[in-house]
Structure 1
Amino acid sequence: MSNSIDARELRNALSTFATGVTVVTCKDAEGNPVGATASSFNSVSMDPPLILWSITKSINSANAFINAKEFVINVLASDQMETSNGFARSGEDKFAGIDTEEGIGGVPMLKDCVTRFQCKTWATYDGGDHEIIVGEVVEMDSSDKEGLVFYRGAYAKPEKL
């Protein structure tokens, strides 16, 4: 059976669901730092503590994430839009000018984030044009900063009602 859902219409419909913005980091097989902006991040389980995120299979860094034993989910603060934009681009040194510190397995963690989840890869699953990566949270830290939000194709700040 052929699916008649238009990809652009689906993307527009999905953009009505406000999400936080993250930069996921890992190290590639040669030990080089790798990072990508992702808004596809969710909790899975409290016991054990599991999270998931997904990455487009066609981007250059996909294999590094799919094969990584550890990764860090860096939840961006509302003043980190440029960081998000930088890690969303391809073909440049994404870590240039970014303050980091070492996390699990030597994975770079971004400074000044709202929250950082250090994870061991639990499982990966095929998700069509994405790979779904599940991680076990082994350490985390959090601040009271305001998070960066993505809604209807644009950055936003959360507002309490």
Structure 2
Amino acid sequence: MSNPVQDSRAFRDALGLFATGITVVTTRAPDGEPVGLTVNSFNSVSLEPPLVLWSLSLGSPSEAPFRACSHYAVHVLAESQQALSSQFAGSRERRFAGLHTTAGLGGVPLIDGCLARFECRNDMQYAGGDHLIFVGRVERFERGAGHPLLYFGGAYRGIRQP
């Protein structure tokens, strides 16, 4: 048995053995600039009311815009969207480069072609260690078709179906 406080790298590696979907979360900053990032901490919370959650590292340059926004959108990425995931995990200045978006609730930038998309009211925020947990009330959603992009063991994966 390992102690997570004494061996944080081993703890992180063990957490990486839980396969997660990949999302891109987007909003608008108070000055109107689009803000977005790749997130794999997305989770459903409740059907009644319809709630989802995701978390953001404290001190992230995206923290202030997401704290202040009225709405955000969670885009569940398809297996074919690994490049989009990498783009939103990279340089903040290049995240929306070459990307066509449409305006969603609260002016949130929406990305087409995703496996699913949830437009959320920024309902609740909770401190959670070195992260801020956002709970959003889903006001609109869309479903696409295909297979999800997954992250497992430090690498992107897809689903292999028989």
Q: TM-score range by the shorter chain?
A: over 0.9
| 8 Å contact kept, 1:66–1:131 | no
Residue type matched to 2:8 in 1?
A: A
Whether the aligned pair in 2 keeps the contact of 1:148 and 1:155 (CA below 8 Å) is yes
> TM-score scaled by structure 1?
0.94
State the distance in 2 between where 1:39 and 1:3 align.
21
Give every structure 1 segment of 4 or more consecutive aligned residues whose post-TM-superposition deviation is greater than 6 Å: none
Query: Cα distance, 1:22 vs. partner?
Result: 0.2
SS at the partner of 1:85?
Answer: helix
Secondary structure at 1:79 match in 2 = helix
SS where residue 92 of structure 1 aligns?
helix
Match of 2:143 in 1: 142
Give the % identical residues.
Answer: 42
CA distance in 1, matches of 2:107, 2:5: 45
The residue aligned with 1:84 is 85
How many residues were matched structurally? 160
Query: Paired residue for 1:96?
Result: 97
1:73 maps to what in 2? 74
Q: Map Cα deviations across residues 97-143 of structure 1 (whole Å, 9 max, x no partner).
A: 11211111110011110000000011000011110000000000011
Taking structure 2 as the reference length, the TM-score comes to 0.93
What is the match of residue 131 of structure 2? 130
Counterpart Cα distance in 2 of 1:112 and 1:91:
21
2:11 alignment partner in structure 1? 10
Residue by residue, what CA displacement relative to the aligned partner does 1:57-108 show, whole Å, maximum 9, x if unpaired?
1221111112211000001111111111111113422101112111111100
Q: Is the 8 A contact 1:103 1:109 kept in 2?
A: yes
- Describe the shift of the 1:78–1:151 C-alpha distance in structure 2 as closer, same or farther (beyond 3 A): same
Unaligned runs of 5+ in 2: none
